[in-house]
Each structure stands twice: as C-alpha cells, then as structure tokens.
C-alpha cells in the first residue's frame, strides 16, 4: 500500500507559510466577483484579470443579472486586459445565466448544492475546465476542493511527490488523499504554491531560495539538476 504523505505535505505548507505569510486569497469583495475572476484569470496573470474585473465594476456591470442579459461584445470591450476576451465574454455571460436561472444569483443557494453535483454542473458550462470550476468551488462556495494548476504539477513533480506529466486528477488526489478536507488549509495552500511558482520554482528554478528544499531529509528537489 502507498505510504501516506500527510506529514510531508503539512511540512511543505508550514515552510511556505513561514516564508511568505498567509496569502489572504481570493482577493475579491463578493463571491460573484470571485466567480468572475476565476473565469478571467484563465491563461493570464491575476494582475490583468484584476484590471478586467475593475473595468466591469467601474461600468456597473459586475452584476449577474446584467451580465446574463448583456451583449457579449459589450462584456468583451470591458475585459480586454484579460486576453481571449471574446471567448471569456461568452463564458461569463453563460455562467451568469446559469447562476441567475438555477441559483437565483444567490451564492448561498449555490454553495448549498453538494460539491460533486455542483462540480459536474459547472463543468458542463462551455469553456469551463477543472481548474476554473474548482477555484469557484473552493474560493466562492467554500467547498474543500483542492485547486490544481501548472505550478502545483511543476513543484511537486520536482520534489518527487508526483510523476512528471501528472494529470490534473492525479495531482488533486495527492492532496485530497493525504490531507483532511479543510477549506482554510486548501485555500491558502494553493495560494502558497502559486507564490512559490511565480517567485522561485520557475521554469529555471532558483533552488537556493526555495523555502522547502531542506525541510525533510528524504525530500530532494530535482529542479536543481536543471541548473547543472
């Protein structure tokens, strides 16, 4: 049977927390803003996605009922900083229509749906992938679903906790199978991983700055080999 990795994963989180401090994610004023932000941040930096969110807010359009009935061209014009704005405008409008029609634009009603059922419903929306949906589930609906991104796969494969090229589901099982379902932990753990990936564990890693490289004598990072 596989050896549980609970201790290793918690040691990694503790080291990241000590190095970077709590990340206080998701940066949004309302659950709906979080949902829209999750769509806008696909394939773009959060800085650009935040500009698009701000544009919607400044235009008085950060409202599910208005977005559900808006012309996609009007939405696209406001979210240009997020890249792929025409596609994202369609996704935002479609999501807003589902949010209004099926949940009465009420985040509590949406969050009351069982996690697996809600995940399947959101994945059925055109253009919605697992990362976007899981971000909404965790950060807007407070479901204990671990969000996976490219940083997660890169970092944990370098440390030998995942095979190179691990799938989204395989990566998610690493955390779900070894950690108790905890919204607060999953929330900040994902944020810490993003911070590490952006600042240190890059494509050309800065291993001498990595806060987790020496936390466990049996945990050696393969990333340093890329520098040789």
Structural domains of the chain ordered from first start: 6-23+147-221 (1.10.1670.10), 31-140 (1.10.340.30)
% of the chain surpassing 70 pLDDT: 93
Residue 113 CB neighbour total at 10 angstroms? 17
Each residue's pLDDT tens digit, 102-126: 999 999 999 999 999 999 999 999 9
Q: Write down the H helix ranges in 21-106.
A: 31-40, 46-58, 64-69, 72-78, 85-103
At residue 2, does pLDDT exceed 80? Answer: no
Nearest to 66 by CA among 77, 58, 76, 75: 75
Averaged pLDDT of the chain: 93
pLDDT bin (cut points 50, 70, 90) of residue 1 is very low
Q: What is the pLDDT at residue 217?
A: 52
At residue 226, does pLDDT exceed 50? Answer: no
pTM of the model: 0.93
């Amino acid at each position: 049977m596989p050896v549980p990795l609970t201790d290793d994963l918690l040691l990694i989180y503790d080291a990241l927390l000590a190095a970077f401090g709590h990340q206080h994610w998701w940066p949004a004023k309302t659950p709906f803003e979080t949902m829209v932000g999750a769509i806008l941040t696909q394939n773009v930096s959060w800085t650009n996605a935040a500009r698009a969110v701000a544009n919607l807010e400044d235009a008085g359009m950060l409202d599910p009922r208005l977005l559900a009935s808006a012309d996609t061209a009007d939405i696209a014009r406001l979210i240009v900083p997020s890249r792929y704005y025409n596609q994202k405008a369609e996704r935002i409008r479609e999501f807003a229509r589902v949010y209004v029609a099926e949940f009465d634009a009420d985040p509590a009603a949406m969050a009351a749906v069982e996690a697996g059922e809600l995940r399947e419903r959101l994945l059925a929306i055109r253009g919605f992938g697992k990362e976007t949906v899981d971000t909404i589930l965790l950060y807007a609906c407070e479901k204990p679903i671990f969000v996976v991104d490219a940083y997660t796969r890169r970092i944990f494969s370098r440390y030998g906790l995942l095979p190179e090229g691990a799938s989204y589901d395989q990566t998610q099982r690493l955390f779900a199978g070894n950690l108790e379902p905890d919204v607060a932990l999953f929330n900040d753990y994902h944020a810490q991983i993003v911070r590490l990936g952006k600042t240190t564990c890059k494509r050309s890693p800065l291993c001498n700055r990595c806060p987790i490289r020496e936390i466990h004598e049996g945990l050696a990072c393969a990333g340093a080999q890329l520098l040789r």
